[in-house]
A = this chain, B = another copy of it.
Amino acid sequence: MKKLNIASIPGDGVGHEVVPSGEQVLKTIADIHGGLAFEFTSFPWSCNYYLEHGSMMPENGLDQLKPFDAIFLGAVGDLNLVPDHISLWGLLIKIRREFEQSINMRPAKLLKGVTSPLANPKDFDLLVVRENSEGEYSSIGGKIHQGEDEVAIQNAVFSRKATERAMRFAFELAGKRRQHVTSATKSNGIVYSMPFWDDVFKEVSTDYPSIQTDSQHIDALAAFFVTQPERFDVIVASNLFGDILTDVGAAIMGSIGIAPAANINVNGKYPSMFEPVHGSAPDIVGKGLANPIGQIWTAKMMLDHFGEIELGAKLLDVIEETTTAGIMTADIGGKHSTEEVTNEIIHRLKSL
């Protein structure tokens, strides 16, 4: 029996509505499989937790998470309760950083039955590998002077180690996919970090002679996500560029509510964290409107991570069968509730 201990952090807002969906689906899959079991331990860390305790998680929060096989997170942040820089840097980004989850993987793929905002979308199926530990998100910088002379400086740190790690990860993945890696750059405008990024990309690519490559400036690349997303296989991007591209990727899929993500600890020292791309969406809380597919697809990425590739593929098939059958939430044009969509997916899994 392969037993997986998962730390669940529903977090804020709709996280509480979709994390249970994901858990139920994973339990159903384990039942079907037989030799697999998931045990979920829930942690209440969130903006509400902050209001009560003055921090987003306890001081030993990371120690509590460390023994788990993975973290299953909903969404963090609610501007009505706590400023973002506190909620996100005290929980989401803290876990990403401290647990060395240096890669953020985010697929964008047209699901059958889901209407894209694009007029005639070809069948795109791309995967963004986002460097997740440094770059434009390096929290180094400061301000000087006051009034009209005030200047703020933000430093972006790009280390060869982290840059190369993200790129090698991308090339390895491309080897199992369509053998193509696109590098997101902006070396024509950002003249220290991005030429360095380009150099490392060129070097790493020589180790993968069978993988095709190209480089696109982030402005053009974001536009190509709209006009020709089918062109891309794996895209490797810096922290910020990956962030932007994957929201555009979610948009062309039809809704941010279906986009999944995985924060991968590549050295195996700490658990990886699985969280959908969407936020806590306080405006739709309690209405049954939250799309559970993002969280459930994220569960599929967790299955992949544990080597359960076949189960993962089955789950994605069932998600697509469900959307094809028109069982969908309002954000993608359906009339069904979070629960109805979840139940349909579970029902279909059980009848496999």
Contact = CB atoms under 8 A, between A and B. Distances in A.
Contacts of A151: 157-160
B246 A192 contact: no
Contact of A153 (B139, B155, B239, B247): B155
Contact of A219 (B152, B196, B227, B244): B244
Contacts of A190: 136-137, 154, 240
A176 interface: no
Interface size classification for chain A: 35 or more
Contact of A118 (B117, B152, B160): B117
A143 B84 contact: no
A222 interface: yes
Residue among A120, A191, A256 with most chain B CB within 10 A? A191
A137 B244 contact: no
A150 B195 CA distance: 13
12 contacts: A136-B189, A140-B192, A141-B191, A142-B192, A143-B196, A152-B159, A152-B193, A155-B155, A218-B243, A223-B248, A226-B226, A244-B244
A227 B240 contact: no
A314 to B, nearest CB: 29
Given A150-B159, A154-B155, A155-B153, A220 B247 contact: yes
A341 interface: no
Given A190-B136, A223-B256, A251-B226, A153 B157 contact: yes
Interface string A149-174: 11111111111110010000000000
Residue among A156, A223, A240, A251 with most chain B CB within 10 A? A223
A188 B150 contact: no
Contacts of A16: none
Contact of A160 (B149, B164, B248): B149
A115 interface: yes
A116 B120 CA distance: 10
Nearest to A140: B192
A-B interface, 10 closest residue pairs, ranked by CB to CB distance from nearest: A141-B192, A154-B193, A152-B196, A219-B247, A223-B251, A84-B188, A150-B160, A226-B251, A223-B247, A154-B192
Contacts of A239: 189
A79 B200 CA distance: 19
A151 B256 CA distance: 34
Nearest to A196: B152
Contact of A192 (B143, B223, B252): B143
B148 A158 contact: no
Contact of A154 (B152, B156, B219, B222): B156
A119 interface: yes
A179 interface: no
A155 B140 CA distance: 10
A158 B155 CA distance: 11
Contacts of A187: 84-85
A312 interface: no
A216 to B, nearest CB: 11
